């Protein structure tokens, strides 16, 4: 809402209701003066009254009915109840609206947001948006919690006192007036990087009015290095766009391009995995469903920290930041690039250079090198040169577009200049838009002190954060789900943001706020009335005006409104993608010489769950285990085992702890350039030696909110302009103190149990069934395989009768199936179903008989499959599940007790590949703890494997028989249902679940008390009480909704041949499946012969987790297949 | 009624050494009943025990109030160890509650005369132990106010318990056991209550014991019915001795947790229960001898026999430990083998070795007659068995910490509330037992009188069994 919100200050002479009196400005003021803390809570019910108006408006837009100004969202007009129910609004039926969220660098990710009676409750990817294609990342998925965060700023303030928005606006105008003569010379705007065309347009107009003012784009983790390299190489800043679906080999240099930190990660992951989903089926192969083994791509990763990308890679080299630079130079030299002298490299890395070079070189035109933003410009420049040599530009594996944010380039340099100006007293007015430099600016700039010399300082943001505390004025920002806006995606496509709800706390949308700035600037500059370029501060009008540039008369019969409605509905402006720019020849002349390293190196990295700290008050993200380390609620100094030994540090599970929770870690004092920081040490196998990884974003103060308060360590205290990403010469000293960390998985090795089966393309060629053999009952593996769905019948149907022989030819219970393949293979008789495998049992045969018929033949059987080849461990599935199923946050203390509530978890195991099989050599009875520690310490070749584990929906579910009150029961379609109302909390089911996927409400974890958090919940899922067990049910609410819909449609239609309502494959998408950027999850009906999940389950690599226990899991896994380069040195 | 010893004269010692001292019908009855009527001053130690019991009981009250307020999360339970102290204590108490019925029912049917002087307080012990035990499954539930859903109560939502669950069987087993034990105990008490009514020293005693005696007049028909009922109840009680702990063991054996899923559990659990039950009998008998001077009725012979039962059941239990390990390796199942290794050498390995030491090694001292007949040594060994049997259940429950999937391995550490609840249950037991000692005859007057040799006015054995012949 614009600042002129409360301009009509006249009080109603009579008030007819308490509400109208309470809504008056006088009342507001009294409330805010008297109970500033409670001001927001009083406002809450008033905002909620606007939900329905808003919902009506959104539908009006989405349905292309026409934009009725009287029901426009965020409109300050009267709120009235429905007289006639708007079309499409049916209470209880949610609606979806397209919008977009800004990620790192302001790059948009297109989203679809579910709205229940005007409450946004769930975020999903927007299939129309090129950066998303339906996938999402954990930041976007967790953003609904950010919306309802009770700690958000609820009112404008002056110093510590609350004030009104108009007071802020007046003060702003006064300040500008004082600077009138200087043409705004003392005015600085410090803004978040922004790709919004309308916002950037406003910024340009602001600068036009006040030509001496400066607009600085700042973000602590800005990707400046890539831009600098581009300027050096091409003489102009160009942004690369990767098309990984065209790449057969990718070299990632310190780049986590598959994970949530990279703005294009969702798309990257999808593209990359399109060439990695390994499929053996011939006739069943469908477009997008996988590749043949020989077409599988290959990924090399060179990095210090173990990232999702490193865990996915076929080969991973752990090197220190300086070694990575040396490695890049050495590799570039191979390509004939004058890359300067490479520094020293470990012998192992040297051996890898040749094979990597040969492999990449042999795949010219289908290979690419990707460099992470953390690497110095030289490495970026070399990568551009290598990509040029690899014909990546010619073959469009890498294309270039103009920068999405026109101000990107040298944010830290600009910030430095700003701070110098501030110290010199040149800055009279500083307006901070969204960023939080007091917390996250390089520490040597001492931003907070510099800020003291600024007279007028205004902070605009979602929270009254550290910077707001140091500013005189504060204006609450509207959340992205509360505002209109537009954002460019990674390829420049413009996504439209539309509000899903009126601002909960009277926050002002960025466009409104900036337009107020521009208006004030134009007022001051004396722009005559007629020539003012900003007539409105209505963000919708601003966005619309900007979008008009893309409207052509030819589209939609020349009707702009019609075209606009479509664009809003789809969430993207058609044809707005940036035009690719032909890459000029890469200039390698100016590559600077490498830096020398001494002492321990340190690298600062964005936190995988909090990014730069902006999500620190989001409990979902705090509690989301960070990929690979599985740490929650904290960051730490991450080191390799060898470095930990050097530092004399260790971590362990204390007497009172849990390896699935509490970990006691030693605390070290790090000294870098004279600055000191005490921080707990986390030992991570596979991390590069002699380098410490520090995640930024933790260690916020109480200003950041209750959730963020003192969680973790503020590593920004070490980060300076000279040590932005990587630095050397750090010293570390053990302090003798300890600190406890919350880690959800302390166990590293698979203990030779093979829960996660993995192999190579070569291994598969030798033995298709390598993934079938479980660690126990090895002779019975065919029967065990038969206990997981995906039967011989399916195989024959998908392969054709004359196709390949079925590798696992037995079904259970129904006896051997009489099929053509069976007759052709009489020798299979010897493996005839062994009744010992499923002896007399307390468990009924599921699915049960329905009307005397075997239900499995007649009705639906839900099943799920995970493709482990395609899973990066990014944990978006967890976040989606949390949001969909109202899963509570339990807090660090409870996580340390092993009580995290996530229904789906991502298991992580480490292994050391042997030359023979790439099998795990860390586990098993032959590997004693000490031997293992030695191996882990010395091995540079540690691999991480990830595996999402939700409820396996066992057909013979061990949890069901032991429940004394039948609170967990089997449905006819094979779901292992949980009846919360019936649960008395004996927890026996959890004990008896071999997968340990059941979660218990040990205390009252669900938040029943915070008003705004009630709005967050999905009304289709029970909010669980304490003392109740809960677990994944394949999003049963979605299944039942689809069934109801199908039944309804079927009733309305003339009956066709099939006597049951049909649900098409893909019509039901579980929350985790919808969010998965790589499409590693398939869900569907196993009775549907064309379902994707059935095709997956018929794969020879399909196996059931712990299927040897005869639980007959409905969820199964496709073994992870990697495609290692045989020429790489042994063990790599 | 007190009769001077010289009037009675001296008798030859009891041939089996089961009654010492110069007792006839009168002295015997007096000795037991004067404790209850208050003629024998209450030993000071009684107050020590009673006040300790009350103090600990208050801990239980506090622990339970906070538990009901906050939820079971105040305990150390977690994922994957979803059962903790509550279940350990439940099984431990249920085990202790085993000796009473075994002594009163099985030994009765087996014509074991030595049961006579210990059966009464052993039965009381059983009832109190089962009460302590029964508390734990109730309070360990996430929503204890819905406990009745575990029972087949015809309620309007038309749901029955899930009869495949061992927890449902537990409800039946434990409630049946408690009911039969209480009835058995009370029926046995009736003649004694009548005797107390008759020797009551004040009106209150007369009224209370009079009501409790249910009009017992000691007529022949009364005796006849009494003895028949007692025998029938013994017959009903006998299978319960086996069924309760068998069913409790199903809680574990039916589950698929490695090392839980085992057919050895029922006999192994029953043996363990008798083992700990007799250890508790020893723990109660020795103070009774010491502080109430009951050494003439609970003789060294009794202790010796209890100790022999302990060494026998102790060996059975130890055989169970051996067999668990044997079967794990014989099975070649990686889960069984590895979990056994974890049990012995994993993070909780110490508890396994505590178990083996206290339950298998130390009780071997009972091979020595000197240990069996020395009050204090026997008390020490019985204490070791208490610790051992507690740890046996702890070791079983803690197996949950490392099961099939390494990713979900975890650990368990009890909190102060766990300890408080456990101590509180001990307090409940002590309180109930000290009250029992004060207000009810700790040894059966009737049966002891019957047990006296003919010369001393008795019938030289147990009337019930003799009549049944």
DSSP state string for B206-241: HHHHHHHTTT----HHHHHHHHHHHHHHHHHHHHHH
- Which pLDDT score, from 0 to 100, does residue A74 have? 44
- Which pLDDT score, from 0 to 100, does residue A1021 have? 92
Kindly state whether A427 is in contact with chain B, defined as any CB-CB distance less than 8 angstroms.
Answer: no
Kindly state whether B349 is in contact with chain A, defined as any CB-CB distance less than 8 angstroms.
Answer: no
Residues 214-273 of B with CB under 8 A from A: 251, 254-257
Greater pLDDT, A263 or B312: B312
Helix B375-398 to helix B300-331 angle, to the nearest 10 degrees? 30
Q: How confident is the model at residue A426 (pLDDT cuts 50, 70, 90)?
A: confident
Report how far Cα A369 is from the mean position of its chain's Cα atoms.
Answer: 23
Report whether pLDDT(A885) > 60. Answer: yes
- Which pLDDT score, from 0 to 100, does residue A453 have? 87
Q: Which residue of A has its CA nearest to B415?
A: A656
- Which pLDDT score, from 0 to 100, does residue A577 have? 86
Q: How confident is the model at residue A521 (pLDDT cuts 50, 70, 90)?
A: confident
Report whether pLDDT(B295) > 60. Answer: yes
Kindly state whether A655 is in contact with chain B, defined as any CB-CB distance less than 8 angstroms.
Answer: yes
Q: How confident is the model at residue A879 (pLDDT cuts 50, 70, 90)?
A: very high
- Which residues are paired to A22 by β-bridges? none
Look at A318-322, A533-537, A586-590, A603-607 and tell me which has the smallest mean pLDDT.
Answer: A533-537
Question: Which of B90, B136, B142, B398 is the mutation pick for testing A, counting most A CBs within 10 A?
Answer: B142
Average pLDDT on A639-662 reads: 77
Mean pLDDT of chain A, nearest integer: 80
Average pLDDT on A973-978 reads: 87
Which residues in chain B touch residue A630, judged by CB atoms under 8 angstroms apart?
A: none
Q: How confident is the model at residue A529 (pLDDT cuts 50, 70, 90)?
A: low
Under an 8 A CB cutoff, do B78 and A898 touch? yes
What one-character-per-residue DSSP string does B357-395 give? IIIIIGGGGGGSHHHHH-HHHHHHHHHHHHHHHHHHHHH
- Which pLDDT score, from 0 to 100, does residue A533 have? 62
- Which pLDDT score, from 0 to 100, does residue A852 have? 57
Report whether pLDDT(A589) > 50. Answer: yes
Residue A1026: CB atoms within 10 Å? 20
Highest mean pLDDT of the ranges A320-324, A688-692, A738-742, B422-426: B422-426
Q: How confident is the model at residue A160 (pLDDT cuts 50, 70, 90)?
A: confident
The 3 state secondary structure assigned to A833-871 is CCCCCCCCCCCCCCCCEECCEEHHHHCCCEEEEEECCCC
Q: pLDDT digit string (tens) for A480-494?
A: 999 999 999 999 899
Q: pLDDT digit string (tens) for A1078-1108?
A: 989 999 988 877 788 888 888 888 888 888 8
Q: Which value, to the nearest 10 degrees, does the dihedral of the CA atoms of residues B218, B220, B225, B231 take?
A: 90
- The tokens describing A887, both together, are 């899963």
Q: pLDDT digit string (tens) for A904-946?
A: 999 998 888 765 554 556 665 556 667 777 777 777 788 889 9
Report whether pLDDT(A282) > 80. Answer: no
Greater pLDDT, A921 or A324: A324
Report whether pLDDT(A512) > 80. Answer: yes
Kindly state whether A562 is in contact with chain B, defined as any CB-CB distance less than 8 angstroms.
Answer: no
Q: What is the DSSP letter of A776?
A: S
The 3 state secondary structure assigned to A170-228 is HHHHHHHHHCHHHCCCCEEEEECCCCCHHHHHHHHHHHHHCCCCEEEECCCCCCHHHHH
Question: Which of A625, A658, A989, A990 is the mutation pick for testing B, counting most B CBs within 10 A?
Answer: A658
Under an 8 A CB cutoff, do A1026 and B73 touch? yes
Chain A with chain B: Cβ pairs closer than 8 A: 206
The shortest CB-CB distance from B79 to any of A899, A983, A994 is to A899
- Which pLDDT score, from 0 to 100, does residue A1 have? 35
Look at A289-293, A457-461, A917-921, B65-69 and tell me which has the smallest mean pLDDT.
Answer: A917-921
Report whether pLDDT(A842) > 70. Answer: no
In degrees and rounded to multiples of 5, residue A1122 shows phi and psi of -115, 165
- Which pLDDT score, from 0 to 100, does residue A708 have? 79
Under an 8 A CB cutoff, do A991 and B255 touch? yes
Mean pLDDT of chain B, nearest integer: 88
Average pLDDT on B279-301 reads: 89
- The tokens describing A568, both together, are 């809003």
Q: How far is B130 from chain A (nearest CA, A)?
A: 19
Q: pLDDT digit string (tens) for A1021-1074?
A: 999 999 999 999 999 999 999 988 888 887 777 665 556 778 888 889 999 999
Query: What is the pTM (predicted TM-score) of this model?
Result: 0.87
Percent helix, strand, coil in chain A, to 5, is: 35, 20, 50
Cα R_g (chain B), whole angstroms: 23
Average pLDDT on B203-224 reads: 91
Report whether pLDDT(B1) > 60. Answer: no
Confirm if A546 and A573 have CB atoms less than 8 A apart.
no
Greater pLDDT, A792 or A948: A948
Q: How confident is the model at residue A886 (pLDDT cuts 50, 70, 90)?
A: very high
Report whether pLDDT(A410) > 90. Answer: no
Report whether pLDDT(A648) > 80. Answer: yes
In degrees and rounded to multiples of 5, residue B68 shows phi and psi of -70, -30
- Which pLDDT score, from 0 to 100, does residue B157 have? 79
Under an 8 A CB cutoff, do A1027 and B410 touch? no
Q: Which residue of A has its CA nearest to B81?
A: A991
Kindly state whether B4 is in contact with chain A, defined as any CB-CB distance less than 8 angstroms.
Answer: no
Under an 8 A CB cutoff, do A1109 and B404 touch? yes
- Which pLDDT score, from 0 to 100, does residue A62 have? 45
Q: What span, in angstroms and rounded, lies between the C-alpha atoms of B214 and A386?
A: 102
Kindly state whether A1004 is in contact with chain B, defined as any CB-CB distance less than 8 angstroms.
Answer: yes
The residues, ordered by sequence, that sit 6+ positions from A564 with a Cβ below 8 Å of its Cβ are A544, A547, A551
Question: Which of B328, B408, B419 is the mutation pick for testing A, counting most A CBs within 10 A?
Answer: B408
Kindly state whether A897 is in contact with chain B, defined as any CB-CB distance less than 8 angstroms.
Answer: yes
The residues, ordered by sequence, that sit 6+ positions from A671 with a Cβ below 8 Å of its Cβ are A730, A731, A732, A733
Report whether pLDDT(A624) > 80. Answer: yes
Q: pLDDT digit string (tens) for A52-92?
A: 554 444 444 444 333 444 444 444 445 556 677 777 777 78
- Go through B383-422 and write b for each residue having 16 or more CB atoms within 10 A of its CB, e for each that does not: ebbbbbbbbbbbbbbbbbbbbbbbbbbbbbbbbebbebbb
- Which pLDDT score, from 0 to 100, does residue A35 have? 46
- Which pLDDT score, from 0 to 100, does residue A281 have? 65
Which residues in chain B touch residue A753, judged by CB atoms under 8 angstroms apart?
A: 334-335, 338, 404-406
Look at A598-602, A841-845, B136-140, B381-385 and tell me which has the smallest mean pLDDT.
Answer: A841-845
Question: Which of A750, A898, A1001 is the mutation pick for testing B, counting most B CBs within 10 A?
Answer: A898
Q: How confident is the model at residue B3 (pLDDT cuts 50, 70, 90)?
A: very low
Average pLDDT on B172-178 reads: 91
Report whether pLDDT(A781) > 80. Answer: no
What one-character-per-residue DSSP string does A513-547 give? HHHHHHHHHHHHHT--GGG-S-----HHHHHHHHH
- Which pLDDT score, from 0 to 100, does residue B179 have? 92
Q: Residue written as tokens 């609004």?
A: A89
Kindly state whether B109 is in contact with chain A, defined as any CB-CB distance less than 8 angstroms.
Answer: no
Is A999 in a helix, a strand, or coil?
strand
Q: How far is B389 from chain A (nearest CA, A)?
A: 22
Greater pLDDT, A835 or B13: B13
Q: How far is A909 from chain B (nearest CA, A)?
A: 8
Q: How far is A998 from chain B (nearest CA, A)?
A: 8
Q: Residue written as tokens 């589209």?
A: A555
The shortest CB-CB distance from A655 to any of B78, B251, B413 is to B413
Which residues in chain A touch residue B347, judged by CB atoms under 8 angstroms apart?
A: 653, 659
User: What is the percentage of chain B residues whose pLDDT exceeds 90?
Assistant: 54
Greatest alpha-carbon pair distance for chain B in Å reads: 79
The residues, ordered by sequence, that sit 6+ positions from A634 with a Cβ below 8 Å of its Cβ are A680, A698, A711, A712, A713, A741, A742, A892
The residues, ordered by sequence, that sit 6+ positions from B387 with a Cβ below 8 Å of its Cβ are B354, B358
- Which pLDDT score, from 0 to 100, does residue B212 have? 93
- Which pLDDT score, from 0 to 100, does residue A845 have? 57
Q: What span, in angstroms and rounded, lies between the C-alpha atoms of A653 and A675?
A: 31
Q: What span, in angstroms and rounded, lies between the C-alpha atoms of A653 and A643?
A: 20
Greater pLDDT, B52 or A760: B52
């Amino acid at each position: 809402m614009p600042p002129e919100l409360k301009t009509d200050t006249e009080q109603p002479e009579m008030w007819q209701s308490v509400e109208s009196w309470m809504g008056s400005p006088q009342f507001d003021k009294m409330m805010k003066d008297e109970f500033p803390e409670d001001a927001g809570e009083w406002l809450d019910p008033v905002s909620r009254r606007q939900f329905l108006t808003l919902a009506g408006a959104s539908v009006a837009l989405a349905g292309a009915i026409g934009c009725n100004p009287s029901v426009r969202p965020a409109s300050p007009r009267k709120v009235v109840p429905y007289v006639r129910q708007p079309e499409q609004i049916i209470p209880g039926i949610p609606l979806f609206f397209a919008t977009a969220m800004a990620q790192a660098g302001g790059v948009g990710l297109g989203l679809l947001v579910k709205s229940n009676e005007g409450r946004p409750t769930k975020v999903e990817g927007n299939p129309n948006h090129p950066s998303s294609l339906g996938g999402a990342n954990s930041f976007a998925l967790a953003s609904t919690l950010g919306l309802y965060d009770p700690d958000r700023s609820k009112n404008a303030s002056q110093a510590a006192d609350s004030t009104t928005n108009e007071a802020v606006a007046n003060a702003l105008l006064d300040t500008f007036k004082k600077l009138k003569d200087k043409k705004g010379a003392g005015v600085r705007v410090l803004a978040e990087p922004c790709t919004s065309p309308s916002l950037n347009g406003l910024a340009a107009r602001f600068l036009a009015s006040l030509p001496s003012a400066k607009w600085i784009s700042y973000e602590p983790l800005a990707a400046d290095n890539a831009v600098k390299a581009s300027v050096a190489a091409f003489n102009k800043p160009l942004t690369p766009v990767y098309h990984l679906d065209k790449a057969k080999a990718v070299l990632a240099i310190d780049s986590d391009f598959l994970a949530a930190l990279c703005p294009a990660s969702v798309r990257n992951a999808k593209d990359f995995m399109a060439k990695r989903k390994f499929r053996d089926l011939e006739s069943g192969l469908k477009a997008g469903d996988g590749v043949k083994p020989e077409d599988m791509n290959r990924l090399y990763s060179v990095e210090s920290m173990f990232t999702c990308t490193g865990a996915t890679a076929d080969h991973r080299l752990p090197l220190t930041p300086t070694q990575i630079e040396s490695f890049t130079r050495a590799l570039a030299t191979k390509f004939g690039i004058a890359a300067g002298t490479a520094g020293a490299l470990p012998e192992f890395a040297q051996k890898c250079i040749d094979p990597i070079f040969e492999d990449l070189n042999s795949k010219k035109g289908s290979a690419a090198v990707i460099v992470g933003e953390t690497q110095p410009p030289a490495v970026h420049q070399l990568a551009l040169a290598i990509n040029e040599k690899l014909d990546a530009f010619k073959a469009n594996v890498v294309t270039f577009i103009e920068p999405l944010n026109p101000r990107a380039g040298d944010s830290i340099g600009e910030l430095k200049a700003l701070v110098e100006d501030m110290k010199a007293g040149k800055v009279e007015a500083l307006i901070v838009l969204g960023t939080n430099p007091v917390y996250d600016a390089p520490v040597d700039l001492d931003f907070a002190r510099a800020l003291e010399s600024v007279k007028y300082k205004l902070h605009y943001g979602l929270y009254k954060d550290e910077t707001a505390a140091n500013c005189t004025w504060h204006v609450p920002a509207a959340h992205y789900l509360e505002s209109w806006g537009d954002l460019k995606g990674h390829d420049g496509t413009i996504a439209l943001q539309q509000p899903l709800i009126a601002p909960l706390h009277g926050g002002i949308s960025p466009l409104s706020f900036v337009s107020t700035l521009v208006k004030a600037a134009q007022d001051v500059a004396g722009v005559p009335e007629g020539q003012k370029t900003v007539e409105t501060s209505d963000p919708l009008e601003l966005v619309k005006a900007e979008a008009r540039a893309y409207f052509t008369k030819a589209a939609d019969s020349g009707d702009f409104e019609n075209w606009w409605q479509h664009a809003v509905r789809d969430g993207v402006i058609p044809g707005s993608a940036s035009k690719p720019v032909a890459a000029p020849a890469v200039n390698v002349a100016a590559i600077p010489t490498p830096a020398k390293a001494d002492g321990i190196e340190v690298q600062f990295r964005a936190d995988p769950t909090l990014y730069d700290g902006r999500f620190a008050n989001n409990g979902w993200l705090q509690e989301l285990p960070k990929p690979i380390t599985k740490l929650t609620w904290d960051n730490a100094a991450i080191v390799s085992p060898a470095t930990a030994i050097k530092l004399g540090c260790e971590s362990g599970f204390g007497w009172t702890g849990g390896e699935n929770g509490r970990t006691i870690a030693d605390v070290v004092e790090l000294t870098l350039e004279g600055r000191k920081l005490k921080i707990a040490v986390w030992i991570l196998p596979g991390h590069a030696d002699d380098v410490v990884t520090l995640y930024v974003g933790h260690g916020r103060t109480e200003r950041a909110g209750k959730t963020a308060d003192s969680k973790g360590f503020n590593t920004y205290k070490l980060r300076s302009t000279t040590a932005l990403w990587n630095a050397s010469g750090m010293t570390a000293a053990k302090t003798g103190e300890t600190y406890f960390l919350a880690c959800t998985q302390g166990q590293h090795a698979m203990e030779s149990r093979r829960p996660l089966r993995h192999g190579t393309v070569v291994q598969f060629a030798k033995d298709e069934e390598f993934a079938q053999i479980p660690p126990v009952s090895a002779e019975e593996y065919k029967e065990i395989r038969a206990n997981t769905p995906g039967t011989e019948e399916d195989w024959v149907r998908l392969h054709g009768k004359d196709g390949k022989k079925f590798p696992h030819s037995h079904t259970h219970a129904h006896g051997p199936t009489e099929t053509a393949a069976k007759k052709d293979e009489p020798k299979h008789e010897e493996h005839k179903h062994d009744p010992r495998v499923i002896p007399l049992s307390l468990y009924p045969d599921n699915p049960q008989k329905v009307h005397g018929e075997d239900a499995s033949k007649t009705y639906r059987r839900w099943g799920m499959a995970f493709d482990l080849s395609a899973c990066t461990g990014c944990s978006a599935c967890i976040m989606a599940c949390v949001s969909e199923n109202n899963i509570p946050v339990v807090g660090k203390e409870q996580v340390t007790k092993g009580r995290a509530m996530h229904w789906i978890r991502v298991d992580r195991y480490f292994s050391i590949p042997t030359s023979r099989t790439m099998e795990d050599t860390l586990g098993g009875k032959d590997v004693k703890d000490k031997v293992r520690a030695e191996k882990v310490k010395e091995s540079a070749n540690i691999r991480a494997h990830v595996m999402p584990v939700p409820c396996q929906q066992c057909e013979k579910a061990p949890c069901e028989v032991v429940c004394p009150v039948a609170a967990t029961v089997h449905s006819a379609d094979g779901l292992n249902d949980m009846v919360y109302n019936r649960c008395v909390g004996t927890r026996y089911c959890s004990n008896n679940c071999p997968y340990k996927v059941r979660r218990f409400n040990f205390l009252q974890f669900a938040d029943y008390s915070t008003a705004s958090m009630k709005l967050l919940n999905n009304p289709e899922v029970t909010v669980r009480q304490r003392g109740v067990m809960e677990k994944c049910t394949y999003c049963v609410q979605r299944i039942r909704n689809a069934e109801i819909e199908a039944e309804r449609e079927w009733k309305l239609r003339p009956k066709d041949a099939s006597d049951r309502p049909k649900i098409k494959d893909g019509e039901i998408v579980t929350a985790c499946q919808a969010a998965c950027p790589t499409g590693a999850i398939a869900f569907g009906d196993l009775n549907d012969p064309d379902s994707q999940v059935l095709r997956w389950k018929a794969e020879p690599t399909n196996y059931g987790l712990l299927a040897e226990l005869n639980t007959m899991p409905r969820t199964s896994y496709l073994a992870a297949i990697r495609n290692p380069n045989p020429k790489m040195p042994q063990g790599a | 009624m007190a009769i001077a010893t010289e009037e009675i004269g001296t008798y030859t010692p009891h041939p089996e050494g089961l009654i010492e001292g110069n007792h006839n019908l009168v002295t015997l009855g007096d000795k037991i009943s004067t404790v209850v009527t208050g003629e024998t001053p209450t030993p000071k130690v009684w107050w020590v025990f009673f006040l300790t019991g009350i103090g600990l009981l208050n801990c239980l009250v506090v622990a339970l109030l906070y538990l009901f307020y906050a939820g079971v999360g105040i305990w150390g339970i977690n994922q994957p160890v979803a059962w903790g102290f509550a279940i350990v204590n439940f099984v431990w108490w249920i085990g202790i509650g085993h000796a009473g019925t075994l002594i009163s029912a099985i030994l009765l049917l087996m014509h074991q005369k030595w049961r006579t002087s210990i059966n009464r307080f052993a039965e009381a012990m059983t009832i109190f132990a089962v009460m302590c035990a029964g508390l734990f499954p109730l309070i360990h539930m996430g929503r204890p106010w819905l406990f009745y859903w575990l029972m087949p109560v015809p309620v309007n939502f038309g749901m029955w318990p899930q009869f495949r669950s061992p927890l449902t069987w537990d409800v039946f087993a434990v409630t049946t056991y408690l009911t039969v034990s209480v009835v058995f105990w009370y029926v046995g008490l009736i003649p004694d209550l009548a005797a107390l009514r008759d020797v009551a020293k004040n009106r209150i005693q007369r009224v209370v014991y009079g009501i409790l005696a249910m009009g017992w007049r000691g007529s022949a028909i009364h005796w006849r019915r009494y003895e028949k009922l007692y025998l029938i109840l013994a017959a009903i009680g006998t299978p319960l001795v086996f069924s309760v702990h068998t069913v409790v063991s199903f809680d574990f054996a039916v589950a698929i947790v490695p090392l839980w899923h085992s057919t050895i559990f029922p006999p192994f659990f029953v043996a363990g229960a008798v083992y700990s039950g007799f250890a508790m009998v020893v723990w109660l008998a020795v103070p009774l001898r010491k502080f109430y001077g009951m050494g003439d009725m609970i003789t060294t012979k009794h202790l010796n026999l209890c100790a022999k039962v302990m060494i026998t059941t102790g060996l059975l239990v130890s055989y169970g430990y051996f067999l668990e390990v044997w079967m794990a390796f014989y099975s070649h199942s990686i889960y069984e083998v590895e979990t056994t290794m974890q049990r012995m050498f994993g993070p909780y390995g110490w508890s396994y070795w505590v178990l083996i030491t206290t339950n298998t090694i130390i009780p071997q001292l009972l091979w020595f007659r000197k240990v069996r007949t020395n009050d204090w040594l026997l008390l020490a060994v019985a204490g070791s068995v208490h610790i051992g049997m507690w740890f046996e259940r702890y070791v079983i429950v803690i197996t949950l910490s490392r099961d099939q999937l390494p990713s979900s391995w975890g650990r368990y550490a009890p909190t102060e509330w766990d300890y408080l609840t456990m101590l509180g249950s001990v307090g409940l037991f002590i309180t109930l037992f000290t009250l029992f000692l004060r207000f009810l005859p700790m040894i059966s007057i009737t049966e002891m009188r019957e047990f006296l040799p003919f010369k001393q006015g008795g019938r030289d054995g147990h009337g019930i069994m003799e009549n049944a012949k």
